[in-house]
Amino acid sequence: MTGFRYLPALLILSAGILLGGCSKTQGASKATAAEDVTEVKLIPAYESLDKDKDGIVTLAEVDAVAPDWAERMHACDTDRNKTLSRGEYDVCKQTSASH
């Protein structure tokens, strides 16, 4: 009969251990979910890429002003003249927004 006296305490301890383990798992899943969130970066405005404000955006200016976007912007220079026209930029911006 003395074994039954310890049963409620054993059940409470077991429940506490199980619930404690579950809450730690949930905390870990929240951290993982937060790590999965990627930061969305918007393509810089055309005018902000024109570092020397001469009205022409060169790929060198893109490299200096927006290094995160340089590879994408280089691909948008469809006529390969080492400058990014407003039309090339607009197409690049539209295709970047859809990805």
For residue 8, what are its two tokens? Answer: 């409620």
CA distances for 60 relative to 31, 33, 65, 76, 88, angstroms? 39, 37, 9, 14, 16
**What phi and psi values does residue 71 have, to the nearest 5 degrees?**
-60, -45
- Residue 63 is predicted with a pLDDT of 96
Q: Is the pTM of this model over 0.85?
A: no
Q: Write down the pLDDT at residue 96.
A: 73
* Bridge partner residues of 83 (DSSP): 58
Tokens 């090339």 identify what position?
88
State which residues of the chain have pLDDT below 70.
Answer: 1-4, 6-7, 9-11, 13, 15-16, 18-40, 97-99
Say what the alpha-carbon torsion angle 18, 22, 23, 28 is, to the nearest 10 degrees. 140
pLDDT (0 to 100) of residue 95? 84
pLDDT of residue 36: 56
